[in-house]
């Protein structure tokens, strides 16, 4: 039997995932899709844009995750 290999790197923080979705939902509601930015979402969530992009490839994917979480 083979054992499953663990993913490299640190495990993702579920609290950060929630913070990102919450920040994105707030910006989406306040500013709309066109004015929402990944930079502002990351700053509000207390993370960086590269960390956000490891979870979501682009703004459309992030907004789809927000909608899916509702």
CATH number at residue 31: 1.10.10.60
Tell me, yes or no, whether 25 lies in a domain: yes
Q: Report whether 24 contacts 40 (CB < 8 A).
A: no
pLDDT(10) > 80 = no
Tell me, yes or no, whether 4 lies in a domain: no
pLDDT tier for residue 52 given thresholds of 50, 70 and 90? very high
Higher pLDDT, 26 or 8: 26
Going by C-alpha positions, the residue among 70, 65, 63 that lies closest to residue 36 is: 63
Structural domain that includes position 22: 14-69
Instruction: Look at the chain and report how many structural domains it folds into.
Output: 1
**pTM exceeding 0.85:** no
CA distance 61 to 67: 10
Q: What is the pLDDT of residues 16-47, one digit of tens each?
A: 999 999 999 999 999 999 999 999 999 999 99
Ramachandran assignment for 45, one of left (phi > 0), alpha (psi -120 to 50 degrees), beta (any other): alpha
CA distance 65 to 28: 12
């Amino acid at each position: 039997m083979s054992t499953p290999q663990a993913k490299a790197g640190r495990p993702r923080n579920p609290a950060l995932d929630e913070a990102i979705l919450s920040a994105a939902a707030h910006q989406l509601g306040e500013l709309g899709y066109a004015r929402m930015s990944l930079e502002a979402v990351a700053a509000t969530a207390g993370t960086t844009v590269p960390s956000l992009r490891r979870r979501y490839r682009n703004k459309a994917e992030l907004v789809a995750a927000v909608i899916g979480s509702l």
